A and B are shown apart, each in its own frame.
Chain A
Amino acid sequence: MTNASGTSGPGPGPVSPAYLDSASSEPLHPAAREILLAALDQGYADPRRLHGPARSARLMLDNAREVVAGCLGVRRDEVTFTASGTDAVHRGLLGLLAARPQGGGTVVASAVEHSAVLHATEWVAGRGVTTTLVPVDRLGRVSVDDVVEAASAGGVSAVAVQAANHEVGTLQPVAEIGGRLDGVPLFVDACASAGRLPLPAGWSTAAASAHKWGGPAGVGVLLVRKGVRWQSPFPGDDRVDERASGFENVPAALAAAAALQAVVAEREELGARQSALVDRIRQRVARIPDVEVVGDPGDRLPHLVTFSCLYVDGEALVTELDRRGFGVASGSACTASTLEPSHVLAAMGVLTHGNVRVSLTRDTTEAEVEGFLAALPEVVRGIRAEVGL
């Protein structure tokens, strides 16, 4: 994030910038930092070799797997460390397709899946795999009946439904869907919720991403339920875990596990505190004229809130908030790398411009939230005044 207050001379910003974009990446958890520094010195060797340093690395990797399995409530042999959350998403979904002997078929996915899921389905579209997108309601939620009905059509190879939406926070009815799929495997993208909320039941494969919970970047977690037919969709490798490829990042995996353990231990208290702050933001932001807070107000992620401001340019909004020391994300087209508006907001039927996503870190203070709430109405008013509205 740009350090606005450090570079721009006298301005209205607070003394230190407030990073309100944990849904993009949570700062490294202190528990992870300690472990990472120690593991960097001890976890360098190839965990597949038979000498002492290799045994050390192998022990760390097995330990990381054990901790992650315990935190997520899954078996050790269901956990694979991947190169990223995106890699885990790709392997989790595409591995279900690769295991189907007949190949091809249809993927049923919610219309609000992360782009990693949509990129995976686009990638296999050329190989005869079609995708059926299930629409969502105004809150961004799929209906269980709609998903089950789409999945019961002939030739469906896999269903993909996220645990929680990464842009608006709405939780999806994953466990109910999983319970009614009648043999069609379910891939659950849990990247937005893992660590913060328990993993929902019902998945055949699932994906999570360590830097979203305060672990280091470059560590994803792929879960493959025991007994589920899964085959690597990518070239194989001869590593510790046949479901992944490439040399294991042992220190980062161990640090990711340490962060997850710490986050799970503190999530009840932290989640309640974050959720109360999000409630406050939702109430106060809704008072600004022509601003709509979107996503489910109750059944949602604890740390995230999204709203859209009518007649406001998203890029101007994010830039001006940054100048005042607040780092936020936006789903508006003019702020995206793609120049397309957020497919999540469009599927919900809510305004795609003037969009802001605020997501709290574990260290976000009440004062930072109050500072943001004090600055926002003025920023919105200023941008509207420039276009005469």
Chain B
Amino acid sequence: MDADLELDCRGMLCPMPVIELGRRLAEVPIGGTVAVLATDVAARADVPAWCRMRGQEYVGEDTADDGTPRYVVRRTS
């Protein structure tokens, strides 16, 4: 999946990947997408939960070239 902004959160522990997402979402326009690359396993639950709590859209998960899970979010507001 393409994304307008890639956040490299590899090696960060929870809740840092979600904090990065919260800090930097506004850098993409409404309708734009942000991808969070995270090795921390908590991100798999926490990125979709963050989207639900903040009213943003969780697009889905794929994998980066190095195998790191990558979670894609669309800014809706």
What A residues does B49 contact at CB under 8 A?
A: 308, 349-352
Contact B50 A351 (CB under 8 A): yes
User: Which residue of B is nearest A350, CB measured?
Assistant: B49
Report B32-74 CB contacts with A as 1/0, cut-off 8 Å.
0000000011101110111011100000000000000000000
Question: With contacts A333-B14, A334-B14, A349-B45 known, is A311 near B53, CB below 8 A?
Answer: no
Contact B41 A313 (CB under 8 A): no
Contact A341 B23 (CB under 8 A): no
Q: A165 to B48: give the CA distance in the assembly, Å.
A: 22
Contact B53 A354 (CB under 8 A): no
Question: With contacts A351-B46, A387-B19 known, is A332 near B14, CB below 8 A?
Answer: yes
A154 within 8 A of B: no
> Which of B22, B23, B42 touches A352 (beta carbons < 8 Å)?
B42
Interface residues of B in 1-46 (CB under 8 A from A): 13-15, 18-19, 22-23, 40-42, 44-46
Contact A352 B14 (CB under 8 A): yes
Q: Which of A332, A353, A388 has the most C-beta atoms of chain B within 10 angstroms of its own C-beta?
A: A353
What A residues does B54 contact at CB under 8 A?
A: 290
What is the number of contacts between chain A and chain B, taking CB atoms within 8 Å? 62
Contact B15 A354 (CB under 8 A): yes
Q: A313 to B19: give the CA distance in the assembly, Å.
A: 10
> Which of B19, B42, B53 touches A333 (beta carbons < 8 Å)?
B42
A176 within 8 A of B: no
A389 within 8 A of B: yes
What A residues does B19 contact at CB under 8 A?
A: 311, 387, 389
Contact A292 B44 (CB under 8 A): no
Q: A43 to B19: give the CA distance in the assembly, Å.
A: 57
* Chain B, interface residues (CB within 8 Å), range: 10 to 19
Contact B45 A345 (CB under 8 A): yes
Interface residues of A in 345-359 (CB under 8 A from B): 345-346, 349-354
Contact A353 B46 (CB under 8 A): yes
* Chain A, interface residues (CB within 8 Å), range: 20 to 34
Contact B53 A352 (CB under 8 A): no
What's the minimum C-beta distance from A287 to chain B, rounded to whole angstroms?
A: 15
Question: With contacts A292-B53, A311-B15 known, is A351 near B22, CB below 8 A?
Answer: no
Contact A341 B15 (CB under 8 A): no
Report A338-380 CB contacts with B as 1/0, cut-off 8 Å.
0011000110011111100000000000000000000000000
Q: A296 to B42: give the CA distance in the assembly, Å.
A: 23
Q: A352 to B14: give the CA distance in the assembly, Å.
A: 9
What B residues does A314 contact at CB under 8 A?
A: 14
> Which of B13, B41, B45, B50 touches A310 (beta carbons < 8 Å)?
B50
What's the minimum C-beta distance from B65 to chain A, rounded to whole angstroms?
A: 25
Report A288-328 CB contacts with B as 1/0, cut-off 8 Å.
00101000000000000000101111100000000000000
What's the minimum C-beta distance from B64 to chain A, rounded to whole angstroms?
A: 21
Question: With contacts A341-B45, A388-B23, A389-B23 known, is A349 near B52, CB below 8 A?
Answer: yes
Question: With contacts A313-B15, A334-B14 known, is A346 near B44, CB below 8 A?
Answer: yes
Chain B residues within CB distance 8 Å of chain A: 13-15, 18-19, 22-23, 40-42, 44-46, 48-50, 52-54
* Minimum-distance CB pairs A-B, first 5: A353-B15, A346-B45, A341-B42, A351-B49, A353-B14
